[in-house]
Amino acid sequence: MAAFSPPPGTADIFEPEAREWREIERIGSEIFSRYGYGELRTPVFEYTEVFQKGLGSETEVVQKEMYTFSDRGGRSLTLRPEGTAGVMRALSNTDVMNQVEQRVRYFGPMFRGERPAAGRRRQFHQIGVENVGRCAPLIDAECIAMLGAFLRAIGLGDFVIAVNTRGVSGDRGPAEELLRNYFARHLDAMCDDCRTRFERNIWRILDCKQPSCGEIVAGAPDYVASFSEDSRRYFDEVRRALDALKIPYKVDPRLVRGLDYYVHTVFEVTHPALGPQTAIAGGGRYELFLPGGKRPVPGVGFAAGVERLLLAREALGVKAPAPAGPVAYLVGLNAQARLANLALADELRAAGIPVGLELEERSFKAQLREANRSGAPLAVVRGDSEMEKNTVIVKNMADGEQTEISADAVFEFLHKRDLSK
């Protein structure tokens, strides 16, 4: 049946799982808007250079994972692998260039050609925010605090936050030199990927997942100490603010994050339900040149992987409240009865009352089976004799008890039942 499966790394999301998705989006919107974030919906594809310039052409995402294709005019387009670059492209049309702060939140699909695994998809979804236009340690701390508030609100309060600083571009040279001198002495014992990283992007060695490289990384020099005093002070202030906010965190000098735009604060969140290797969210402060801009524009933000949030919630047994089921199922034993039921159902639904009904000609037994399946506590039945008398039979599905009431009273009767639920 392969032809009927969605492509690898993608999924169809049915109810009741879809309800869990809505819950994440609803809670996120509620919390983020409390902090002043408004929604921004950007296209799912952009000109390829938006990501090449934004994320850095040396990053793994840009080099190996982007879904890129040409439009009819031959321009290269890419399905967005993340949200930040597109948000910044969109904000270049606002006054963010003049240090007017913009706070935006987003929710939507992202695309990366990764090897699918549990919690790793080719089409995945992020819920995220970007606070763009200004740069201060307390802004970073507020952003992390908001992520914490969101995770608590969705039942993932036991999260673990790792933070680190990437300094600014001027800090990188001396730090790279320190790292280069150290790793040069250990290259023979390191994995092939790390040997390539040594040439192309030495920072990526720090987050290599190979145990043998991990041991070498553990002995690497304290490169943050070589950062400028300003950068170190910036990081101290972020940490002091996190302490004041009572947010537990650990400083992880191995945390460098995979995208090139980061400066100063970076952070990543894991949860014991998924283990320390699986980030449920990540983010940090960044700087990006916007089209036509002379100076880079600063921002800070994060994105959480919705699939991973849901996996963690599932592991903990956290579920969205079930919606109200139908108050009644309308059973019609002849064409006229079904027509009357259709009109009644429409009236009830217009009044906000969920009901189910049979619209096709089917046996009484089949309709009652359907009524049972719908979970409705009542069946409202009309046949020839009820139509003649202008009545309906209300059948209690739990104990089978039946009462006959006037058809003119049935709307009121079900309306009251709904209110008392």
Question: Can you give the binding site for ligand HAM, defined by CB under 6 A?
Answer: 82-84, 112, 114, 119-121, 124, 126, 128, 130, 258, 279-284, 286, 301-305, 307-308
Q: Which is nearer to ligand HAM, 261 or 413 (CB)?
A: 261
CB of 110 to ligand HAM, least distance (A): 7
Least Å distance, CB 398 to ligand HAM, is 43
Distances (CA, A) of 349 to 29, 152, 367, 370, 378: 27, 35, 20, 19, 16
Sign, CA torsion 192/193/194/196: positive
Nearer to ligand HAM, 23 or 307 (CB): 307
Phi, psi of 213 (to 5 degrees): -70, -35
Q: Min. distance of Cβ 312 from ligand HAM in angstroms?
A: 10
45 class by beta-carbon count within 10 Å (0-12 exposed, 13-18 middle, 19+ buried): middle
Minimal distance in Å, beta carbon 249 to ligand HAM? Answer: 16
In the bound complex, what is the minimum distance in angstroms from residue 155's beta carbon to ligand HAM?
A: 16
Closest C-alpha to 296, from 265, 263, 267, 266:
263
Nearer to ligand HAM, 126 or 226 (CB): 126
Q: Which is nearer to ligand HAM, 146 or 331 (CB)?
A: 146
Please name which of 26, 96, 37, 2 lies closest in space to residue 296, comparing C-alpha atoms: 96
Determine the residue with CB nearest ligand HAM: 305
What is the number of other CB atoms lying within 10 angstroms of the CB of residue 134? 15
* Rounded Cα–Cα distance for residues 288 and 90 (Å): 13
Neighbours of 399 (CB within 10 A): 7
Nearer to ligand HAM, 198 or 302 (CB): 302
What angle, rounded to 10 degrees, do the helices at 137-153 and 229-244 form? Answer: 40
Q: Which residue has the tokens 């005019």?
A: 73
**Closer Cβ to ligand HAM, 7 or 321, answer by number:** 7
- Alpha carbons 238 and 225: distance in angstroms, whole number: 16
Nearer to ligand HAM, 304 or 345 (CB): 304
- Pick the closer one to ligand HAM by CB: 90 or 303: 303
- Find the shortest distance in angstroms from Cβ 88 to ligand HAM: 10
Of 297 and 378, the one with the shorter C-beta distance to ligand HAM is 297
Least CB distance from residue 31 to ligand HAM, whole Å?
Answer: 16
Shortest spacing between CB 26 and ligand HAM, in angstroms: 19
Least distance between ligand HAM and beta carbon 300 (Å): 7
Q: Which residues contact 419 (CB under 8 A, 6 or more apart)?
A: none
Cβ nearer to ligand HAM, comparing 126 with 367: 126
Min CB(280)–ligand HAM separation in Å: 5
Peptide bond into 16 cis (omega under 30): yes
